[in-house]
């Protein structure tokens, strides 16, 4: 009994796990862009090939000449007296044989908040362009809506500088939907990337997205493609990435399921499926 309590109170030895790497994600993105360039633009294939090579080389270096590892500090062993008795005939592994990895991820709500913050930051830059360069706050909104409104696609510059209620509604809907989706992806993907989340979310992702938009915009929205100011467009993308990445990176993380207690404790707790069947 004393030996069991000593074992439960002692900190477990650190375990060695393969070091995290973003190389597989980079290689997968490279393959996607390489194939997308076959139906869009050769420049997209060139970017995809470069990313594929970078991801493949980075992935290769993770295992050669020596495989990269990192040590993970495990939590203290859970005392056996905290578990309920299992149902008859159900084998239960000893508590000291279960590992608890300290893995934390951002809340999904932080991705939504990041999308909202990024949408506001991007809108401020876009409206600044409309006011300072075009002399109208409505110009960037009407350009954004031109892809969905046939009447705006053939509008003159003077018409694009005037207010259109339908264009305003379409622009807000499109901008808000895309921003929330990208913020949600930030919350899912940033934890899988190796540290420096602000670099990935604030600079790398916006620049990659700009390259994709540059390649396909002529097909999706020819009016916007012919009149877009790419310097201001890049500035707006960076504003979104920095705002959304900052919100997600600074959000309070939550533990993943494997850190919320041993599997037997969760399965045999009150209201569990196994308890209801017994």
Residues 111-159: tens digit of each pLDDT: 899 999 999 999 999 999 999 999 999 999 988 888 778 777 778 888 8
With respect to residue 178, please indicate whether it lies within any of the assigned structural domains: yes
Q: How far apart are CA 249 and CA 234, in angstroms?
A: 22
pLDDT of residue 238: 92
What integer pLDDT is reported at residue 194 of this predicted model?
A: 64
Regions of the chain with pLDDT less than 50: 1, 8-9, 77-83, 85-86, 90-102, 263-278
Q: What φ, ψ does residue 270 adopt, rounded to 5°?
A: -60, 135
Regarding whether 178 and 113 lie in a shared domain, the answer is yes
The CA distance from 162 to 158, in Å, is 7
Query: Does 147 share its domain with 226?
Result: yes
**Residue 83 belongs to a domain:** no
Same domain, 70 and 106: no
pLDDT of residue 55: 84
Q: Are residues 69 and 115 in the same domain?
A: no
- Assigned domain for 96 exists: no
Q: Which domain holds residue 20?
A: 14-74
- Statement to judge: residues 121 and 55 lie in one domain: no
Q: What confidence score (pLDDT) does residue 260 get?
A: 54
Name every residue whose Cβ is closer than 8 Å to that of residue 172 and which is 6 or more positions away in sequence: none
Residue 6 lies in a domain: no
Residue 68: count of CB within 10 angstroms of its CB: 12
Q: Is the peptide bond before 65 cis (omega within 30 degrees of 0)?
A: yes
What are the backbone dihedrals phi and psi of residue 25, each rounded to the nearest 5 degrees, phi first? -65, -40
Distances (CA, A) of 17 to 69, 136, 236, 261: 5, 56, 39, 20
Are 252 and 132 in the same domain?
A: yes
**59 and 111 fall within a common domain:** no
Residues 175 and 250 in one domain: yes
Residues 70 and 108 in one domain: no
User: Same structural domain for residues 62 and 132?
Assistant: no
What integer pLDDT is reported at residue 129 of this predicted model?
Answer: 93
pLDDT of residue 259: 53
Query: Which pLDDT value is given to residue 74?
Result: 62
Assess whether 62 and 162 both reside in one domain: no
Per the domain annotation, does 95 fall within a domain? Answer: no
Residue 196 CA: distances (Å) to CA of 14, 21, 209, 244, 245: 24, 12, 19, 14, 10
Residues 120 and 203 both lie in one domain:
yes
Q: Cα separations (Å) of 266 from 107, 254, 270, 275?
A: 21, 17, 9, 11
């Amino acid at each position: 009994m004393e030996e069991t309590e000593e074992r439960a109170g002692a900190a477990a030895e650190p375990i060695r796990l393969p070091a995290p790497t973003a190389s597989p994600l980079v290689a997968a993105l490279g393959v996607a862009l390489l194939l997308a360039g076959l139906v869009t633009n050769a420049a997209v294939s060139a970017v995809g090939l470069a990313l594929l090579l970078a991801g493949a080389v980075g992935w290769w270096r993770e295992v050669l000449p020596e495989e990269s590892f990192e040590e993970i500090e495990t939590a203290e062993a859970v005392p056996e007296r905290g578990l309920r008795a299992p149902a008859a005939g159900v084998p239960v592994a000893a508590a000291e044989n279960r590992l608890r990895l300290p893995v934390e991820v951002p809340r999904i709500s932080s991705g939504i908040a990041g999308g909202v913050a990024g949408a506001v930051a991007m809108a401020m830059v876009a409206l600044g362009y409309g006011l300072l360069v075009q002399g109208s706050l409505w110009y960037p909104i009407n350009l954004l809506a031109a892809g969905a409104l046939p009447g705006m696609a053939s509008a003159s510059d003077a018409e694009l500088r005037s207010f259109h209620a339908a264009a305003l509604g379409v622009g807000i809907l499109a901008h808000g939907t895309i921003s929330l989706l990208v913020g949600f992806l930030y919350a899912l993907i940033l934890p899988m990337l190796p540290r420096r989340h602000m670099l990935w979310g604030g600079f790398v992702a916006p620049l990659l997205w700009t390259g994709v938009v540059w390649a396909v915009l002529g097909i999706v929205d020819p009016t916007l493609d012919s009149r877009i100011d790419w310097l201001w467009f890049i500035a707006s993308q960076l504003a979104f990435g920095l705002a959304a990445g900052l919100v997600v990176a600074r959000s309070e993380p939550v533990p993943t399921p494997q850190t919320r207690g041993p599997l037997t404790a969760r399965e045999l707790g009150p209201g569990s499926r196994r308890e209801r069947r017994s």
